[in-house]
Amino acid sequence: MLEFISTLKQRYQTIQLGLVQQSIQWSHYQECIEQLILIEAFLHKGHLINNKMHPLHIAVIGPTQSGKSTLVNLLLNQEAAGVSPLAGFTVHPQAFSADLSNDALIEVAEHFSGFQKVEQFSLSPEKYNSYSLTPISSAQLSGCMLWDTPDFDSIDAQSYKEGVLKTLALADVLVLVVSKEKYADQSVWDILALLEPLNQSLLVVINKLVADSEQLIIDSFIERWQQVRSDSPPPIFPILFAKDHNLINQQAGLNDLLQSSIKQVKRKNYDQAAYAFIRQNWAEWVAPITLEIEAQAHWQSIISQTLKDALDIYKRDYLDHPQHYDTFQNALAKLLTLLEVPGIAKVLMQSRKVLTWPLRRIFSFGGKVSKATYPETKETEVLQQIAEHVLLQVSDKVLDQIDQVQGNNKWWKQINSQLRQDKTLILDDFAHKTELYHENFKQDIEATAQGLYTKLEEHPAILNSLRATRVTTDAAMLALTVQAGGIGLHDLLIAPAMLSVTSYLAESAVGSYLHRAEAELKQRQLHTVKELLFTQVIHQVLQKLPEEMAQTTHFNISAEQLATAEAQLKIKPHGLRIL
Residue-wise DSSP of 165-218? HHHHHH-SEEEEEEETTTTT-HHHHHHHHHHGGG--EEEEEEEEE-GGGHHHHH
Kindly state whether residue 338 falls inside one of the protein's structural domains.
Answer: yes
Kindly state whether residue 307 falls inside one of the protein's structural domains.
Answer: no
Kindly state whether residue 182 falls inside one of the protein's structural domains.
Answer: yes
pLDDT given at position 357:
43
pLDDT given at position 89:
65
pLDDT given at position 546:
85
Q: Do residue 328 and residue 427 come from a single domain? A: yes
Rounded to whole angstroms, the Cα distance separating 411 from 428 reads 26
pLDDT given at position 106:
83
pLDDT given at position 84:
56
Percent of the chain past pLDDT 70, that is, above it, reads 82
Kindly state whether residue 2 falls inside one of the protein's structural domains.
Answer: no
* Count of alpha carbons within 13 angstroms of residue 533, beta-carbon side: 33
Are the CB atoms for 566 and 578 separated by under 8 Å? no
b/e per residue, 17-31, with b = 16+ CB within 10 A? eebeeeeeebebbbe
Helix H or strand E encompassing 229: none
Average pLDDT of the chain is 82
Kindly state whether residue 366 falls inside one of the protein's structural domains.
Answer: yes
- Quote the pTM value: 0.73
Mean pLDDT of all residues in 210-228: 91
Tell whether the model's pLDDT for residue 225 goes beyond 70.
Answer: yes
pLDDT 10s digits, 48-102: 887 667 889 999 999 988 888 888 888 888 877 766 555 556 788 999 988 887 7
Domain assignment of residue 191, given as a range: 51-265
Q: Do residue 250 and residue 325 come from a single domain? A: no
Instruction: State the CATH number of the domain containing residue 105.
Output: 3.40.50.300
Kindly state whether residue 425 falls inside one of the protein's structural domains.
Answer: yes
Q: Do residue 102 and residue 215 come from a single domain? A: yes
pLDDT given at position 371:
41
pLDDT given at position 323:
83
Distant-in-sequence, close-in-space partners of 136: CB < 8 Å, separation ≥ 6:
76, 78, 80, 96, 97, 98, 99
Q: Do residue 335 and residue 261 come from a single domain? A: no
Our count of domains for the chain comes to 2
Kindly state whether residue 10 falls inside one of the protein's structural domains.
Answer: no
Q: Do residue 353 and residue 251 come from a single domain? A: no
pLDDT 10s digits, 493-517: 345 556 666 777 777 777 788 889 9
Q: Do residue 197 and residue 338 come from a single domain? A: no
**Where are the alpha helices (H) located in 50-152, listed in sequence order?**
68-76, 102-111
